[in-house]
Amino acid sequence: MGSGIIERAVAVVINRRMKRRGMSWLRRNATSVVALRVAWLNEDWMRPANARIYP
């Protein structure tokens, strides 16, 4: 897979969400948002295999 495809995916998945007007992000919060966004786009949002159980 070429780097152009990866760079475009970053632009679509991350930059469009993170760089909206008036938004500011901390890295730790942005990482969580990106993980949720990727899960949503990969249609892994509600699959039991990806569910986490916290004690």
pLDDT digits (tens, 9 = 90+) for 11-55: 777 777 677 777 777 777 778 877 887 778 777 766 666 566 655
| Burial (0-12, 13-18, 19+ Cβ within 10 Å), 1 | exposed
Q: Check residue 47 and give its pLDDT.
A: 63
Instruction: State how far the Cα of 44 lies from the Cα of 38, in Å rounded to an integer.
Output: 8
Q: Which runs of consecutive H residues, i.e. helices, occur in 11-54?
A: 16-18, 27-41
**Using CA atoms, how far apart are residues 40 and 38, in angstroms rounded to an integer?**
5
Find how far residue 36's CA is from the centre of its chain.
Answer: 5
